Structure 1
C-alpha cells in the first residue's frame, strides 16, 4: 500500500483527478464544516480538510491503542472520584493558571453542597503519536468535547472510494469501518436511561458560531435513532431560560434535562462573562448528568497527566492490577514538572539547554497551544516567579514522516511530508460504584504537514485521515 501511494503521488495528473473526485466524495459522505466566513449559516459549507490517501499505521500499535482504552476510561473515572489526589496534583497549577483555578473553585463548591448526580458518563479520546515507527506514546487525553467522532465515519467512505477509483480495490476493502458517533450516542443513551425520566432531554451545550456543527449533528442523529431527543443551547441560552427546581432538576424552556453534553466550555475564551461562569456552576449543581462533570474535566488537565507519570502514582489507582499499570505506563512519554523548587529548576535548565527535544504544554485544549523550540526558551526565561508552573514539559515525539496530499478549501494541491496522530474514543457509564459500560468506540487519525509543530483540525493545521493497517 505504502509503495502504491508513493507511485500515485509521482503521477501528478492522476493525483489532480483523484483530488477532484475526493472532494465531491467528501461532500456526498457528509464530511462537512461550515465556512469560517459564515459559521452561523447552514447554507455556506465546505468539506472538512482531509488527506487524499489513508496513512499507513502498524497493526500492532493500533491494536495496542485499542486495548489500553478501557483502562484509560477506568483511570479517568477513578481520578475524578479522588478529591485528595486532584487537589494535590493541581495545587501548584491553580496558583498561577486562572482558568484551572476557576474550574477548581466550581469543583469545591459542588463538593461542599454535595454532588447531586448519581450517574457518571465519560466520553473521552486518548491521542497518540509514534516515536520512531513503532513506539506508541500518548500526547494527551481529552475528557471534554472530544470531537470528530462524527466526521470520521464519513471519511471511511471517501477513502474507500478513492482507492477503488485508483484501481486498488483490495486496499479499499482493508479500510476499517469506523463510527465513533454511534458508540458515543449509545453511552449517552444508556446514561440518560439510568437518569430515569423518560421525557427528559439531552442538552448539548454549544457555541453560537460553531464551524464544526456537522460533527456534533452526527451524534445527534445517532441519538435520534435511539429515540433520545436533544436540544442545543449556548451558555447565554441556559442563563436566560434555564433554572433549577427545588429538587435541583435542570429545567430549560419547560423541559427537564437529563444530561448535559459539553461541546463548549473547554477554553477560557468560551466563557465570555461572569454570567457564563455562573451558568457553568448552575449546571454542575444540578441533578442532570454532566459529560463531563467538573472533576472529570479537571482530570484531563496536562498537570494531572504529568503527575500520573511519576513512579508509583498509577499504582494508587490500580493497586492490584500490575498488568494494567504496565499497559498504561508503556504509552507514557517523558513528562516533567516545572513547579518551584530544585526539581523544577533542574527541568528548566534541561529545557533551556536543548529545547528542540521538548514540548512546553499549557493547561489548554483545542489545539494550537503548545510551544516548541526557541519559543520554549523565551517563555521560560520571561516567566516571572511561579508563572512557569502553568506549564508542564514533555519529551518531543519524533515520528517517521510519510507523504500525502492535504486537501483544504482554497489551498494548492501539493505533496507534504506528514505526521499523524491517532486518537481512540472511549465511553463509560457508572451508576454509583458499578461500571455499567466501559468500551472503546472507535478511532480518529489526524495528519498535518511536518512544517507545522502544533495544531489540530479545528485550529486549521491538521486534517482528517484514516489508518491503513500494515
Structure 2
C-alpha cells in the first residue's frame, strides 16, 4: 500500500470529513435503496452501504475474471439444454428439497410439452474471491454463479464517480485516475434489446416480474431506463398481477393486463417465499409455457443451482460440454474451489466425515439464492449430525471455505459507526447472452460489481447492511 494511502487512513479528522462527503456524494449520484421500514415508498430512501475507499485488486486477477465470463455464459447455456445432465445432477436433491423439486417438475412439464420459444436470454453474474493458500500464494476462486434476479447492475454504474470524488478530496489523485468506468446495466439492456428485437413485435412490452417488497427498485430502474432510451416499453408487475390478468392466446402469446409480453425478466421467483400460493406457481407455469422470452427460463434457473455447480466440478464433466476446447476447460476449472457431494453412499459419507472433522475449512450450502443462506463453522456440525444418516443431507453441497486476502477499509452504513476494519472483498462479473435456436447471437462480459465486508462476517448482503459497494483499484 502506498505511503500516502496509509497516511490518509490514519488521519482521523480527514476520515471523519470524508465519510460525510461519501454519504452526500452517494445521495447526489443516486446510490440509493428504500428503507426496510418503507420498502414500497418512493418518499423514503437512504444510501446503499459503501466503502470509503476503493480496494486494491491485482489486475491479473481482474482480467482473468472478465475473460472467463463468456465461457461461463456458454457453459450455463449448454447445461440448460442438456436434459440428461440436469436430471442426473438434481436426482437426489429433488427428493428432499421441496422448492427445487417444484422447479424441476415445472421444467419436466415444459420438456414434455415442448418449448414455445427458441429465443433464450441469459443475464448472470459469477462471483469470486481471492483465495490465499498457506504458502502465501493467491488464486481467483468462484463462489457461485447466479442465473436469476441478478442485482447490482445499476448501482455498479454509480460507485466509480463516488470514489473518484472521495479520492480527489483526499488528494489521492493518482489513485483517482485508476478508477474504472463500469456500466453493466447498459450491458444487460443490450441483451434485453437483442431478445426483444428477435421476438419481433414493436408493440410488445418487457415485463419486470418484481417482488411485493421493492427495496432495491432503484438498482433495477437503471436497466429499465436503458430500455426506455431505446423506445422499448417496460412494465413492472407482481405474481398477483399475472395471476389475475394473465392469459395465453391460441398462439401462446402472453398477455398481462391487456399488454403483449415479449420478455419476462424475473426479478422475483428465486426463493420459496416468493411463491405465496398455488396461484403463484400457476403463474410461473403459464409464463414458462408462453411465447414470451424468459430471463431466465426454467432450465437456466436450474442450471444455476448449487448442486449443478458441484457436479460441474467433477473430473471430466467440463470436457463433456467443451469436448474440443481444452483451453476453455482449463480457464473455467482454474476458478473452481473444492466442491463435494453429500449424496447417499460412500462418496457422500466421506464428505460428511471430512466436514465434521474440520468444519472451519468448509461451507455448507443449501439450494438457495439471495444471500444469507450458507452455514459455517460449528453450525455445520449441528446440521450434519442431524441429517448425516438421512437423505436430507442431499439438500446441501459442501465447498472448501475460501481463505480470502484481507484489506483495510472503512465501511459507511446508514446509522452505523465508521471504524477501520479488516475486510474481505468479492468480485462479481456480469455476463449477457442471447441464443436463437442453435445460434448464439450475443455473448459478452458486460461489467463488474465489487462488494466488501468486514472479515468478522461470514455471510450477508447489501440489503442486510453487512456488505458494502466498492470499486477495484487495479495494480
Deviations 1:385-428 (A, max 9, x none): 11110000000000111111111110011111101110000000
Cα displacement (A) at 1:6:
2.8
Residue 97 of structure 2: aligned partner = 97
Instruction: Give the secondary structure class of the aligned counterpart of 1:38.
Output: coil
Q: Does 1:207 align with 2:211?
A: yes
**Which residues in structure 2 correspond to 1:193-204 (within 5 Å)?**
193-204=197-208
Distance in 2 (CA, whole Å) between partners of 1:4 and 1:452 is 29
Distance in 1 (CA, whole Å) between partners of 2:463 and 2:186 is 21
Residue 430 of structure 1: aligned partner = 435
Q: Does 1:279 align with 2:280?
A: no
TM-score normalised by the chain length of structure 1? 0.99
- Any gaps of 5 or more consecutive residues in structure 2? none
Cα distance change on mapping 1:56 and 1:2 into 2, 3 Å: farther
Distance in 1 (CA, whole Å) between partners of 2:277 and 2:42 is 27
Residue 148 of structure 2: aligned partner = 144
Cα distance change on mapping 1:310 and 1:86 into 2, 3 Å: same
Distance in 1 (CA, whole Å) between partners of 2:67 and 2:318 is 17
Instruction: Give the secondary structure class of the aligned counterpart of 1:460.
Output: coil
**Which residues in structure 2 correspond to 1:233-244 (within 5 Å)?**
233-244=237-248
Distance in 1 (CA, whole Å) between partners of 2:370 and 2:4 is 34
Distance in 1 (CA, whole Å) between partners of 2:112 and 2:368 is 26
Cα displacement (A) at 1:445:
0.6
**Which residues in structure 2 correspond to 1:345-356 (within 5 Å)?**
345-356=349-360
Give the stretch that moved more between structures: 61-70 or 382-391.
382-391
Contact 1:70 1:426 in 2 (8 A): yes
Residue 464 of structure 1: aligned partner = 469
Contact 1:129 1:421 in 2 (8 A): yes
**Which residues in structure 2 correspond to 1:365-384 (within 5 Å)?**
365-383=369-387
Residue 124 of structure 2: aligned partner = 124
Distance in 2 (CA, whole Å) between partners of 1:7 and 1:290 is 51
Residue 54 of structure 1: aligned partner = 54
Q: 2:230 aligns with which of 226, 233, 245?
A: 226
- Any gaps of 5 or more consecutive residues in structure 1? none
Distance in 2 (CA, whole Å) between partners of 1:452 and 1:397 is 13
Deviations 1:233-264 (A, max 9, x none): 00001111111111110001111000000111
Cα displacement (A) at 1:134:
3.1
Cα displacement (A) at 1:2:
5.2
Cα distance change on mapping 1:196 and 1:2 into 2, 3 Å: farther
Q: 1:393 aligns with which of 395, 398, 421?
A: 398
Cα displacement (A) at 1:382:
1.0
Give the stretch that moved more between structures: 103-112 or 3-12.
3-12
Q: Does 1:290 align with 2:289?
A: no
Q: 1:327 aligns with which of 328, 331, 341?
A: 331
Instruction: Give the secondary structure class of the aligned counterpart of 2:344.
Output: coil
Deviations 1:305-357 (A, max 9, x none): 00000000000100000000000000000000000001100110010000010
- Dislocated runs of 4+, deviation >4 Å: none
Q: 1:174 aligns with which of 167, 175, 178?
A: 178
Q: Does 1:114 align with 2:119?
A: no
**Which residues in structure 2 correspond to 1:435-446 (within 5 Å)?**
435-446=440-451
Cα displacement (A) at 1:434:
0.6
Residue 73 of structure 1: aligned partner = 73
Residue 188 of structure 2: aligned partner = 184
Contact 2:5 2:172 in 1 (8 A): no
RMSD over aligned Cα atoms? 0.9
Distance in 1 (CA, whole Å) between partners of 2:102 and 2:16 is 50
TM-score normalised by the chain length of structure 2? 0.98
Contact 1:61 1:134 in 2 (8 A): no
Contact 1:6 1:403 in 2 (8 A): no
Contact 2:451 2:470 in 1 (8 A): yes
Cα displacement (A) at 1:143:
0.2
